[in-house]
Structure 1
Amino acid sequence: MQARISFITLAVPDLAAVRTFYVDGLGWAPALEEPDEVLMISVGERIVLSLWSEAGFEAEVGPIRRGAGLVPITLAHNVPTADAVDTVLEQARTAGAPEVSQGQWREWGGYSGYFADPAGFRWEIACNPGPIGQSVL
């Protein structure tokens, strides 16, 4: 098996709200859309963000574990500068992100902040000056 991710699939409680956030708010274009079922967005070369309604996800994959706390995953979007981090965080705020942190310098040497989409998934917006961070720009 090759080391590669083709789809990131996230189960969301309100697909319409998530669509409004990503498509109308952030301006991302749907690659495939089945209302009330799934929204797929190409987010890079050969990688798709697949947002499923919870009901459809559970029917195919299995029951979702529910409880207090954050969803134990973050998605990351790297940008070349700290100013670009702040710009994207403000764009997320304007798009209606229910939670947006301020960008800050991190112990690992970069600058980042987080926002939540309407389903609670956290996106890290980061400027990572190290080689691994630069490799994804």
Structure 2
Amino acid sequence: MDPRLSFVTLVVHDLRATRRFYVDGLGWEPALEAAGEVLMFQVGERVVLSLWDETSAVQEIGPVTRGGTPPVTLSHNVATTAEVDTALDAARRAGAASVSDPVQREWGGYSGYFVDPDGFRWEIAYNPGDIGQRVLP
């Protein structure tokens, strides 16, 4: 099996609120939308972010637990530190539950975080290293 990630699926509590945040707030264009069930975005050449309504998800995957900080972060890498600031400002305007100001990181990058309506943490990062540059369009 080759190393590949095709879909990242996040189970969301309120798909309408999630849609308002990502589509209306951040301006993302859905690649597929099944009203009340799922909202999908093409987030890479061959990667889809799927936001799945909890009621529909539970029918397929079983019980979903809530509470605390999910032990995962998502990262959106950009080419400059100014783009980090711009993206975090957009998340703030879209109504992100929390936004941490970006800082210079000990690993050489510059990043900050926002929290979406379901508590998922997104890192907005400028990573000057080879691996950070490799993921840019």
TM-score norm. by structure 1 comes to 0.96
Distance in 2, Cα, partners of 1:9 & 1:64: 13
**Matched position secondary structure for 1:8:** strand
Shift of 1:66: 2.6
Moved over 2 A (4+): none
Residue deviations 1:5-64 (CA, integer Å, cap 9, x gap)? 110000000100000111111111111111111001111101110000111111101111
Q: Which residue of 2 aligns with 1:46?
A: 46
Amino acid aligned to 1:45: E
- Structure 2 runs not aligned, ≥5 long: none
Percentage of identical aligned residues: 65
Q: After superposition, what is the alpha-carbon deviation per residue over 1:60-102, rounded to whole angstroms, capped at 9, x for unaligned? A: 01111233x2111111000111111011000100111111110
- 1: CA distance, partners of 2:52 / 2:128: 34
Alignment of 1:1-137 (within 5 A): 1-67=1-67, 69-137=68-136
Could you tell me how far apart the structure 1 residues matched to 2:12 and 2:43 are?
Answer: 18
3-state DSSP of counterpart to 1:103: strand
SS at match of 1:120: coil
2:74 aligned counterpart, secondary structure: strand
- Distance in 1, Cα, partners of 2:97 & 2:66: 20
